[in-house]
Amino acid sequence: MAIRSRKPTSPGRRFQTSSDFSDVTKTTPEKTLLAPKSRTGGRNSYGRKTSRHRGGGHKQQYRIIDFKRVKDGVTAKVAAIEYDPNRTCRIALLHYSDGQKAYILAPRGLGVGDHVVSGQGSDIKPGNAMPLRFIPVGTTIHNVELRPGQGGKIGRSAGISVQLVAKDGDHATLRMPSTEMRRVLIDCRATVGEVGNSEHELIKIGKAGRNRWKGVKPQTRGVRNEPGRSPPGRWRRPHRRQHPSRYPGRANKGKPSQDLLIRRRRSGRGRR
């Protein structure tokens, strides 16, 4: 995949870039693997806005992705590489030898005509999935489960990869892209390889309207709002020395998965 630049026919187009979609081989999705996707506009079941800056956007259909990869021992052929509007990476359409079809996240290096398989005894090559106990230490993986049978939760966006650094008893140690070190059960499944479309991070939006197509509305800094609209709002000009109130919300009490952290990710400017 390459990044395509636009001709500067307007200020919004001058620095705008986009994907050339050269890796996409099929433009229409598989109808049997589609599901409706409704939009909330950031509202809950009471009609109250719970997520700000959402609304509008282009209509989308959800592609049903096989994150579990539990069809062991059945070889599948990659029929096409498709675009998915719901995620940053590409998806691969698989045709299994028994006639079933499925979508998976397309790893880097996987092309049309390649064969993938899941389960114990599979080769260590991009697209094959198996439990962590059968993956050699040092392998680059993605789409990793947090609990066995739950489906992949870690490492699913474009260009992301997780490294298997150690195995100890019933747990395996993973190094995340954020430098975080985490332990997961050794029976959790993962897919070999790095997620494709790594150049997605180089795309420049170029104009606000392009975000509106995605359903993202403009954000206003709280200090520029009137007091009734936002806790940090002020009647007078904004003053950086004033201490703004925090937005109301529930305190973060942690998650059970935090107990398996070995090293937290680096956070903050200049902190290690």
* Residue 145 backbone class (left: φ over 0; alpha: ψ -120 to 50; beta: rest): beta
pLDDT of residue 195: 97
Q: What pTM value is reported for the model? A: 0.87
- With a CB cutoff of 8 Å and minimum separation 6, the contacts of 6 are 13, 14, 16, 17, 18, 206
Length of the chain: 272
pLDDT of residue 109: 94
Chain position carrying tokens 């026919």:
9
Rounded Cα–Cα distance for residues 20 and 24 (Å): 9
pLDDT of residue 236: 54
Mean pLDDT, range 112-126, rounded to an integer: 96
> 3-state DSSP call for residue 163?
strand
Q: What tens digit of pLDDT does each residue of 213-225 get?
A: 999 999 988 777 7
pLDDT of residue 271: 47
* Residue 10 pLDDT exceeds 60: yes
Of 30-34, 67-71, 117-121, 246-250, the poorest mean pLDDT is in 246-250
> How much is the mean pLDDT over the chain?
90
Comparing 36 with 257, the larger pLDDT belongs to 36
Rounded Cα–Cα distance for residues 211 and 86 (Å): 14
Topology of domain 3-49+59-208+255-263, per CATH?
A: OB fold (Dihydrolipoamide Acetyltransferase, E2P) (2.40.50)
For residues 107-132, b (16+ Cβ closer than 10 Å) or e, as one string? bbebeeeeebbbbeebeeebbbbbbb
* Residue 91 pLDDT exceeds 60: yes
Q: What are phi and psi of 199, to 5 degrees?
A: -80, 5
Share of the chain above pLDDT 90, in %: 79
* Residue 125 pLDDT exceeds 80: yes
